[in-house]
Structure 1
Amino acid sequence: MVMWVFGYGSLVWKPGFDYDEKVVGYIKGYKRVFDLACIDHRGTPEFPARTCTLEAQEGAICWGTAFCVRGGPEKEKMALEYLEKRECEYDIKTYVDFYQEADCTSPLLSGVLVFTSTPCKVSNKYFLGPAPLEEMASQIAKAVGPCGNNRDYLFQLEKALNEIGHEDDEIIELANEVRKILGRIDVPSLTKMESATPARCTTFLPPSQFLTDRPQVSKESNGTDHITAPQVTLN
Structure 2
Amino acid sequence: MKDFWVFGYGSLMWRPGFDFVESKRARLHGFHRSLCIYSHVYRGTAEKPGLVLGLDAGGFCDGMAFKVTEDATQKVVDYLREREQVNNVYLEKMQTVELEDGSSAQAIVYVADCTHAQYASALSIEAAAQIVAAASGIAGPNHEYVSATLEHLQQMGVRDEGLERVWHFVNTHWSK
Normalization by structure 2: what TM-score?
0.92
How far off is 1:100 after superposition? 3.7
State the match for 1:22 in structure 2.
Answer: 23
Q: CA deviation at 1:71?
A: 4.6
Alpha-carbon displacement from aligned partner over 1:82-129 (angstroms, at most 9, x marks no partner): 1111102443111111114564xxxx2232110112112xxx122121
Q: In structure 1, how many angstroms separate the alpha carbons of the residues matched to 2:42 and 2:135?
A: 10
Checking the alignment, whether the CA contact within 8 Å between 2:65 and 2:99 is kept in structure 1 is no
1:125 to 112, 117, 121: 117
**What residue in structure 1 maps to residue 129 of structure 2?**
137
Counterpart of 1:128 in 2: which secondary structure? coil
Residues 1:97 and 1:42: Cα distance change in structure 2 (over 3 Å): same
Given the superposition, is the C-alpha separation of residues 48 and 119 from structure 1 closer, same or farther in structure 2, using an over 3 Å criterion?
same
- Residue ranges of structure 1 left out of the alignment (5+ in a row): 188-235
Letter in 1 for 2:60: I
- Is the contact made by 2:129 and 2:166 (CA closer than 8 Å) also made in structure 1? yes
Aligned partners of 2:104 and 2:22: how far apart in 1? 13
2:151 pairs with 1:151? no
Q: Distance in 1 between matches of 2:105 and 2:64?
A: 14
- Return the alpha-carbon distance in structure 2 between the equivalents of residues 101 and 79 of structure 1: 23
The aligned amino acid for 1:87 is E
Secondary structure of the structure 2 residue equivalent to 1:46: coil
Q: How does 1:74-89 map to 2 (within 5 A)?
A: 75-88=72-85, 89=87
* Distance in 2, Cα, partners of 1:13 & 1:182: 25
Residue equivalent to 2:108: 113
- Whether the aligned pair in 1 keeps the contact of 2:24 and 2:100 (CA below 8 Å) is no
Question: Counterpart amino acid of 1:35?
Answer: C
Normalised by the length of structure 1, the TM-score is 0.70
Larger radius of gyration: 1
CA distance in 2, matches of 1:62, 1:147: 24
The Cα offsets for residues 127-181 of structure 1, whole Å up to 9 and x where unpaired, read as: 1212111111000000011220100000111001011111211111111111112
Match of residue 211 from structure 1: none
| 8 A contact 1:141–1:181 mirrored in 2 | no
Structure 2 unaligned spans of 5+:
none
Structure 2 Cα separation of the partners of residues 146 and 113 of structure 1: 25
Give the aligned CA root-mean-square deviation in angstroms.
1.4
CA distance in 1: counterparts of 2:21 and 2:101, whole angstroms: 22
* Partner SS state of residue 75, structure 2: helix
> Per-residue deviation at 1:182?
2.5
Q: Which amino acid aligns with 2:168?
A: N
Report which of the two has the higher share of strand.
2
The answer to whether the 8 A contact 1:96-1:112 is kept is yes
Distance in 1 of aligned mates of 2:156 and 2:128:
25
